[in-house]
């Protein structure tokens, strides 16, 4: 019996990609997905091709060079495009890992202005909202010494907003997107320490100034497991 396994990792990194056009040439960031593929015969004793835990352990050294880093600083990676990044990772998988099949790298966000509906979440006290994504870099200069977030890195940020008239919110959201997307947030006035908390308040104030009616909440999501809810307090 033969099978293919896929072990997924997510890392948060900044980069500037001169091959991606004018907007991508400036410093920004993404949440990246890495699908590490293994294939081969299923071991008759264990019932697997390779232990998922072993795949994670073997990949940990490579992951440590990617997560919360600036990809432009990686050794031997000339331009941090997705194809080049995939090739860079392939070149760091040891030959003795005979189970290794391939690696695919993708970005979490849509990399364009796209508003979607976010349903109400009663447990968090959140009403129905509109959501869009930005691809941005940041560093947290006030983080404790040695904290990984003190280094320049990036995220595909999801930003939600709720107000009394969601249809009237669409144009202010597009203006907010244009202010934040494909930027280093530290370069924006008022965001010298761009934590999710500060970014959510900054976005609230921006939307208010743009005429968003009766704002109820702004949510900034850095990763699939971490988000900040701000209610104007």
> Which three-class secondary structure string do you get for the chain?
CEEEEEEEEEEEEEECCHHHCHHHHCCEEEEEEEEEEEEEECCCCCCCCCCHHHHHHHHHHHHHHHCCEEHHHCCCCCCCCHHHHHHHHHCCCCCCCCCEEEEEEEECCCCCCCCEEECCEHHHCECCEEEEEEEEEECCCCCCCCCHHHCCEEEEEEEEEEECCHHHHHHHHHHHHHHHCCCEHHHCCCCCCCCHHHHHHHHHHHHHHCCCCCEEEEEEEEECCEEEEECCC
pTM, 2 dp: 0.95
- Selection from 55, 53, 32 nearest residue 101 by Cα: 55
Q: Is the pLDDT of residue 96 over 90?
A: no
Residue with tokens 């701000």: 230
Enumerate the β-bridge partners of residue 155: 136
Mean pLDDT over each residue of the chain, to the nearest integer: 96
Catalytic residue check, 182: yes
Point out the catalytic residue in the list 28, 155, 182, 198.
Answer: 182
Catalytic residue check, 233: no
Q: Is the pLDDT of residue 95 over 90?
A: no
For 37-91, write each residue's pLDDT tens digit: 999 999 999 999 999 999 999 999 999 999 999 999 999 998 999 999 999 999 9
Point out the catalytic residue in the list 101, 149, 174, 179.
Answer: 149
Mean pLDDT, residues 147-170 taken together: 97
Residue with tokens 């930027």: 183
Give me the pLDDT at residue 78, please: 87
Contacts of 97 (CB under 8 A, 6+ apart): 58
% of the chain with per-residue pLDDT over 90: 94
Cβ atoms of 105 and 154 within 8 Å: the answer is: no
% of the chain with per-residue pLDDT over 70: 100
Catalytic residue check, 149: yes
Q: Is the pLDDT of residue 22 over 90?
A: no
Mean pLDDT, residues 101-110 taken together: 96
Q: Is the pLDDT of residue 20 over 90?
A: no
Token pair of 188 as six digits = 């924006």
50, burial (CB in 10 Å: exposed 0-12, middle 13-18, buried 19+): buried
Q: Is the pLDDT of residue 231 over 90?
A: yes
Point out the catalytic residue in the list 68, 153, 155, 222.
Answer: 222
Please report the domains of the chain, with CATH numbers, ordered by start residue. Answer: 2-107 (3.30.479.10), 116-230 (3.30.479.10)
């Amino acid at each position: 019996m033969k099978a293919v396994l896929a072990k997924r990792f997510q890392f948060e990194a900044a980069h500037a990609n001169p091959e991606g056009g004018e907007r991508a040439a400036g410093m920004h960031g993404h949440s990246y997905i890495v699908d590490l593929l293994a294939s081969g015969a299923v071991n008759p004793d264990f019932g697997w091709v390779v232990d998922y835990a072993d795949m994670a352990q073997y990949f940990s050294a490579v992951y440590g060079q990617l997560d919360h880093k600036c990809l432009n600083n990686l050794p031997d990676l000339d331009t941090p495009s997705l194809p080049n990044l995939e090739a860079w990772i392939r070149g760091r998988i040891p030959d003795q890992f005979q189970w290794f099949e391939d690696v695919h790298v993708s970005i979490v966000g849509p990399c364009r202005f796209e508003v979607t509906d976010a349903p109400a979440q009663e447990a968090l006290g959140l009403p129905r909202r509109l959501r869009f994504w930005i691809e941005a870099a940041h560093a947290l200069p006030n983080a404790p010494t040695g904290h990984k977030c003190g280094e320049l890195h990036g995220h595909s940020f999801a930003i939600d907003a709720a107000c009394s008239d969601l249809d009237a919110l669409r144009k202010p959201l597009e203006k907010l997107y244009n202010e934040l997307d494909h930027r280093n947030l530290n370069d924006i006035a008022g965001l010298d320490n761009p934590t999710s908390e500060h970014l959510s308040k900054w976005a609230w104030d921006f939307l208010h100034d743009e005429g968003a009616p009766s704002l109820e909440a702004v949510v900034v999501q850095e990763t699939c497991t971490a988000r900040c809810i701000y209610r104007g307090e």
